[in-house]
Copies of this chain bind each other. A is one copy, B any other.
C-alpha cells in the first residue's frame, strides 16, 4: 500500500492535510469524484494520514514533541515499505519578521532561539546536538516553482523554531509576560539580523530527523503576520485562508513538475 510513496507532506492540522490531499489529487488528475479520501489512521485521534497516488499526507499536531513522534513512526513505515528516494515537505504557517504577510518562506536552515542552526535532542538525560540543514537544491527548485507560478512572493531564509508560542516567540499577549515591548522588538530585530525570516514550532526536529534518515526535506511556511508590527493575526478569514493555501500550491507545483519530468521518454 505504501511502496509507491515518493512524496510526503506533513502539516499541523488534520483537516488541512485532507484539503491538501484533495488539492493534489485534482492537480495530478488522480481525483475520483466518488471517492472520499479515507483517514488511514482512523481509530486514533493522534494523527490523520491520507494517500493519493505517490503522495502521502500526514498531520503532526503542534510543536516539536508532537511532530517527532509522528516522524519516528513515519520513518519506520517508509523503511518497512521499502520506499526509496522520498522527498518530504513540512507545509504550514508561521510568524514573519519584516515580511509582507502572505509571503512564503522556504527554509534555508532551522535555527534555535539563540539563532544557532542546531537541535538539542535529549537522550538518556544527556543533550546531543543535531544538525538542522535542509536540502539547498530542493529549496532552490521550490523558489523556481514560485517564480513560474507568479502568484505570491516566496523567499529563502532561516526559520526560527521555538518550544513555545508566547514567551518563546516574544509575544506580549500570553498569560505571562516578563519583558517590555522594547525587549521584544530588540530580540526580533536581532533575529532578523541573524537571517531569520519567520518563526514556527516544528522545523528543527523535522530537519534533524529527515537529515539523519536520508530524506530530502524542505520546510515551506507562509507568514500570517509581521511580528515587528504586532502579535495577533488581523487579516480576514478569507485572506488567511488564501495565505494558508500557498505552501500547498507551491509544493503541489513541485510534485507535478517532478512527476511530469519522470513520465517523459528519455
Is the C-beta of A113 less than 8 angstroms from some C-beta in chain B? Answer: yes
- For residue A165, which residues in chain B have a CB less than 8 angstroms away from its CB? 65, 68-69, 72
Indicate which residue in B66, B122, B167 contacts A66 across the interface (CB closer than 8 Å): B66
Closest to A15 in B: B45
In the complex the two chains form, is A164's CB within 8 Å of B63's CB?
no
Query: A65, B64: Cβ atoms under 8 Å?
Result: yes
Q: Does A192 contact B (CB under 8 A)?
A: no
- Residue total for A at the interface (Cβ-Cβ under 8 A): 48
Q: Roughly how many angstroms separate A166 CA and B213 CA in the complex, as a whole number?
A: 15
- Shortest C-beta distance, A132 to chain B (Å), equals 15
A212 sits at the interface (CB 8 A): yes
Question: A93-132, CB under 8 A of B: which get 1 and which 0?
Answer: 0000000000000000000011100000111110010000
Is the C-beta of A174 less than 8 angstroms from some C-beta in chain B?
yes
Flag if B62 contacts A184 (CB, 8 Å). no
Q: Answer yes or no: A263 CB below 8 A from chain B CBs.
A: no
> Is A220 interfacial (CB 8 A cutoff)?
no
Contact, CB under 8 Å: A184 / B124: yes
Query: In the complex the two chains form, is B164's CB within 8 Å of A125's CB?
Result: no
In the complex, per-residue mask of A136-166: 1 if CB is within 8 Å of any chain B CB, else 0: 0000000000000000000000000011111
Mark A residues whose CB is within 8 Å of B: 13-15, 45-46, 61-66, 68-69, 71-73, 75-76, 79, 113-115, 121-125, 128, 162-168, 170, 174-176, 178-179, 183-184, 187, 201, 209, 212-213
A/B interface sample: 28 pairs, CB < 8 A = A46-B62, A61-B62, A61-B66, A62-B66, A62-B69, A64-B65, A64-B163, A65-B65, A65-B162, A65-B163, A65-B164, A65-B165, A65-B201, A68-B164, A68-B166, A69-B165, A69-B166, A72-B165, A72-B176, A79-B175, A113-B122, A121-B167, A122-B167, A123-B170, A123-B179, A124-B170, A163-B163, A176-B209
